[in-house]
Structure 1
């Protein structure tokens, strides 16, 4: 049997980041002891799945920042002629990160393995330069996210943007950082952050969750397995608290509330649910969800001027169903709709014979900005269909609406009349001969008359939205469209005006409006065919 030399072992470890970190890096544990860094399950999942562009949405205190620093020091100690950038949102946190990284370096086994690790060439408050035995160097820079041109003039092998959600200039800084990324197959940008309202970080996470981004999303919830070890003392304390308040009896499955049963079915342990109850003693539900989310959407709950109850919106994610697959639909849908299936058109339920359906329609110009949307509910309030497309011309949208309307048993259409809504109504009435449409009573010179469509005004928009809010929050309608729930999360009231104002012009409310119009159609209780 051939004996493996120490040099060969070290070379094997050098090629494997997990082995290198676990054999050489030490960290301070909750007891204040310096211990070897053993990756937990979620850190291993992240290491295995790292891509060139990675974004991490996380619950607090899961050790993802610590892992990112360890990965950075591994790279810097094994790859000469490379640069590394660490960015945080304020001076104190930036300094704290850099000190933790330096502590990792200082506690590497330099004496045990001389010449294996690079030595310090320069060390100051925001820069650490390491020199290898052959004279080559690597450099780690730590800075604050106050400069939109961060990284300019340099090329970095690895960029860590810590707590991006708290930066003032997220989009510009990210663009600057990406431009400074080394142009090779191994370079990486890692964004890790807790949530901080509906800002650019929210947009990035939302896009990545749908696969519409170059960034790969990792989300780790509050009942991830690592928390059992990391929060052991808190977990034990919460169990003692629960037993003291329940005659020494531990929480059982039979004691769980409805929302807790969902958590339990999804993998949360009874001990973790006791911990949540214990934490909730001095936190509201929304505060807990923001700090310790169960889904990435929960972390963006805020208690500001949201129109909809965000706790209920988040709960709805647990009950939505997936749209029917293309294979299920291809033989059932009119062929004109095939190209839209599960791209812009999502069918959740086939129409049932004899059942009435109500559609809300918000129409846009098709120029790539706002979306033309259709939301259809059956008479019982179950969402059956959703369509949204921001590049469809009004005349094409009329064709789609006519086909979908007839498919759903000649659905009752409530079309917003404003702007390009009027030409859509004219096409539906005169060209398509579609009769089953909402009629709104208006007064002209004291005389009342009915006109097709819903004309939204400053006066009745409040009615439109609050009626929808009531139907949703009382459980009288069931929404299956994820995109709608996301729009509802960022739908706010600001100085008497309602809409999606957070995060810039790319946030929309078209699906919220479409569903609100469908509710008005149901309330009207009319049928013209």
Structure 2
């Protein structure tokens, strides 16, 4: 059996394991333009291991959270029937970037045998649909229909710069996700007011108090810059 045949056989044996799929099936583009296999970094792995129904992510920059959530959404719709995922970005340019980079390009880089097994049914500039009834879309507003996974990118920025849009997301988009679905709101810190700040304060207080969360409570995921290896300078040769 050729090496490629062996790798395909191994993949098919492991398709029921989502963690394996995430770390072995997908390729992404790095910030310096290279196409590399996706492997969860420390922050992405921590989030995956600690997923809750409502996930609030306060993070440093360049941790790849949008990339991870995009891959997670794509994987979920590929391997589950009738799942609808959505991502909200704050402007049209961000919509195009998130869809093309995190969704469409990642799908197009799948192994050929998998794309044949999971063909796209239709594709637009904002939405990818599959014959199993599942779909994934990116837009500046998502209020219609029911979603199982919703991601709001840079929600802190939305709250700070576009408070009316933030209110629409809270009163409309959040309500479109079933209570057993997943919501991700992620952002760097953006001031001390607005929904993201208020939710962060409450989620952190719940965590500090050891509160048992309900499905409607936000779980606090905090990934500061000093935990990220890329922000640590080498100390070899430094004289103190």
TM-score, structure 2 as length reference = 0.82
Q: Residue 191 of structure 2 aligns with which residue? A: 197
3-state SS of paired residue (2:86): strand
- The alignment partner of 1:32 has SS state of coil
Q: 1:217 aligns with which of 215, 220, 223?
A: 220
Please list the CA deviations of residues 308-360 of structure 1 after superposition, one character each: whole Å capped at 9, or x if unmatched. Answer: xxxxxxxxxxxxxxxxxxxxxxxxxxxxxxxxxxxxxxxxxxxxxxxxxxxxx
CA distance in 1, matches of 2:52, 2:13: 22
Partner in structure 2 of residue 56 of structure 1: 57
Which residue matches 2:30?
Answer: 29
**Cα separation, 2, equivalents of 1:61 and 1:115:** 33
Q: Kindly state the Cα deviation for residue 15 of structure 1 after the two structures are TM-superposed.
A: 2.8
Structure 1, unaligned stretches of length 5 or more? 244-248, 253-529
* CA positional deviation for 1:115: 4.1
The alignment covers a number of residue pairs equal to 220
Task: Map residues 197-276 of structure 1 onto 2, 5 A cutoff.
Answer: 197-198=191-192, 199-211=194-206, 214-224=217-227, 227-228=228-229, 230=230, 235=233, 250=238, 252=240
Tell me the residue number matched to 2:178: 182
2: CA distance, partners of 1:142 / 1:122: 15
Residue 60 of structure 1: CA displacement? 0.7
1:162 to 145, 153, 165: 153
Tell me the distance in 1 between the aligned counterparts of 2:14 and 2:146: 27
Which residue is equivalent to 1:172? 168
Output aligned runs, 1:97-108, within 5 Å.
97-100=98-101, 101-108=103-110
Alignment of 1:260-299 (within 5 A): none
CA distance in 1, matches of 2:191, 2:65: 20
- Rounded Cα–Cα distance in structure 2 between residues aligned with 1:60 and 1:114: 32
Greater Cα shift, 83-92 or 169-178: 169-178
Secondary structure at the counterpart of residue 67 of structure 2: helix
1:325-344 paired onto structure 2 within 5 Å: none
Is contact 2:225–2:231 with CA below 8 Å preserved after alignment? no
1:250 Cα deviation (Å)? 0.7
2:204, 2:168 → 1: CA distance? 22
Higher relative contact order, chain-length normalized (CA < 8 Å, sep 6+): 2
Query: What is the alpha-carbon distance in structure 1 between the residues aligned to residue 100 and residue 64 of structure 2?
Result: 16
- CA shift in 2, pair 1:98/1:114, >3 Å: closer
Distance 1:13 1:74 in 2: 14
Query: Could you tell me the TM-score, scaled by structure 1's length?
Result: 0.39
1:85 and 1:151 in contact (8 A); partners too: no
Instruction: Note closer, same or farther for the CA distance 1:223–1:71 as it changes in structure 2 (3 Å cut).
Output: same
Could you tell which deviates more after superposition, 169-178 or 200-209?
169-178
Q: Relative to structure 1, is the Cα distance of residues 139 and 112 closer, same or farther in structure 2, using a 3 angstrom cutoff?
A: closer
Inter-partner Cα distance in structure 2 for 1:129 and 1:157: 15
Instruction: Give yes or no for contact 1:83–1:139 (8 Å, CA) kept in 2.
Output: yes
Q: Tell me the alpha carbon deviations over residues 77-124 of structure 1, each in whole angstroms, 9 at most, x when there is no partner.
A: 111212111101111111110011111111010x244643x2122111
Structure number with bigger Rg: 1
- Taking the aligned partners of 1:220 and 1:50, their CA distance within structure 2 comes to 14
User: For residue 437 of structure 1, what is the aligned residue in structure 2?
Assistant: none
SS at match of 1:182: strand
Moved over 4 A (4+): 5-12
